[in-house]
């Protein structure tokens, strides 16, 4: 399918690994002029080089923490006017006992998963409106819609993000600027593996893949029968970034292998 985005400018905020990288790959493949950001420079620069060589398109790395004012300023300076914006930010790790979640932990969750994406969108929406075209896709989490007691520092703040985008997307859709959210379920990414220690702590397990992965699969029944790869969500993200999605406004698309049962 031709996504009709060749030559457009795209920013993947959080694009050096996991689902951000997989989305960036699909956009690069479609011929966009790509910018990717992340906090860790080495992996970011390497990812940009690999994608640029693979797809023959420009991929500009930007070292920036999307959860801070300083990081966002660096992002805005390096890429002032993207047509396409996708955002993903890593929230704090899995929590243990809910009674041990402190105000500082809530603040960190809100700064990363709520204020970060909102501030990035707020910066870019006026330019997109002026140009009468834009696509924004947040990569959030299915626990925004289906609460999980061990993901309190990810789900609740993302529920607020969904609430924000539900309103704002309707406000700007008439200008050709669309916001939609992807809500991923369980994906085996670099970030997933980095959470092994925190997952083990939350459930009182030995922090090894051999112990944690079977425990995880036992407690997260996935009807599709497997833990997803980042590439399993990227085609949907790329579609939402294209002109083909022009009638899809303010939607929350769950990609979870059927893990959570709900009609809407």
Where residue 88 falls (left for φ over 0; alpha for ψ -120 to 50; beta otherwise) is beta
CA distance 23 to 236: 9
Tell me how far, at minimum, the Cβ of 176 lies from ligand NAP, in Å: 27
- Residue 1 CA to residue 29 CA, distance in Å, equals 12
Measured CA to CA, the distance from residue 104 to residue 114 in angstroms comes to: 15
Closest approach of Cβ 156 to ligand NAP, in Å?
Answer: 13
**Residue with smaller CB distance to ligand NAP, 201 or 229:** 229
Pick the closer one to ligand NAP by CB: 45 or 249.
45
Q: Which residues bind ligand NAP (CB under 6 A)?
A: 14-20, 37-40, 43, 65-67, 88-91, 112, 139, 141, 154, 184, 186-187, 189-192, 230
CB of 130 to ligand NAP, least distance (A): 26
Nearest residue (CB) to ligand NAP, 43 versus 129: 43
CB contact at 8 A, 90 and 21: no
Work out the angle at residue 238's Cα, subtended by the Cα atoms of residues 217 and 235, and round it to the nearest 5 degrees: 45
Taking the complex as a whole, how short is the minimal distance between the CB of residue 37 and ligand NAP, in angstroms?
Answer: 5
Q: How far is the CB of 194 from ligand NAP (least distance, A)?
A: 6
What 71-77 contacts at long range (C-beta under 8 Å, 24+ apart), as own/partner pairs, is 71/39, 72/116, 72/119, 72/120, 72/123, 75/11, 75/13, 75/37, 75/120, 76/123
Q: Single out the residue of 12, 32, 28, 38 nearest to residue 190, CA to CA.
A: 38
Q: What are phi and psi of 206, to 5 degrees?
A: -70, 135
29 versus 231: smaller Cβ distance to ligand NAP: 231
CB of 110 to ligand NAP, least distance (A): 13
Q: Which CB sits closer to ligand NAP, 77 or 170?
A: 77
Nearer to ligand NAP, 78 or 173 (CB): 78
């Amino acid at each position: 399918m031709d996504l009709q985005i060749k030559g457009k400018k795209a920013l993947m905020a959080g694009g050096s690994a996991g689902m951000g990288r997989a989305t960036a790959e699909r956009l690069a493949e479609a011929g966009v002029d790509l910018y990717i950001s992340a906090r860790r420079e080495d992996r970011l620069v390497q990812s940009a080089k690999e994608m640029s060589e693979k797809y023959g398109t420009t991929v500009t790395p930007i070292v920036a923490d999307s959860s801070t004012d300083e990081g966002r300023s660096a992002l805005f300076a390096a890429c002032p006017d993207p047509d396409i914006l996708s955002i993903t930010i890593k929230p704090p790790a899995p929590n243990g006992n809910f009674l041990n979640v402190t105000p500082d932990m809530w603040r960190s969750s809100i700064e990363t998963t709520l204020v970060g994406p909102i501030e990035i969108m707020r910066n870019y929406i006026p330019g997109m409106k002026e140009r009468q075209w834009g696509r924004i896709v947040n990569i959030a989490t299915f626990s925004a819609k289906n609460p999980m007691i061990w993901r309190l520092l990810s789900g609740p703040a993302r529920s607020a993000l969904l609430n924000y985008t539900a309103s704002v997307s309707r406000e700007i859709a008439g200008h050709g600027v669309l916001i939609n959210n992807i809500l991923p379920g369980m994906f085996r990414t670099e970030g997933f593996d980095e959470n092994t220690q925190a997952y083990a702590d939350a459930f009182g397990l030995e922090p090894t893949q051999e112990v944690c992965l079977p425990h995880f699969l036992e407690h997260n029944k996935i009807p599709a029968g497997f833990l997803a790869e980042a590439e399993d969500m990227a085609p949907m993200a790329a579609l939402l970034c294209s002109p083909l999605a022009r009638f899809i406004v303010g939607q929350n698309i769950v990609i979870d292998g059927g893990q959570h049962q709900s009609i809407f």
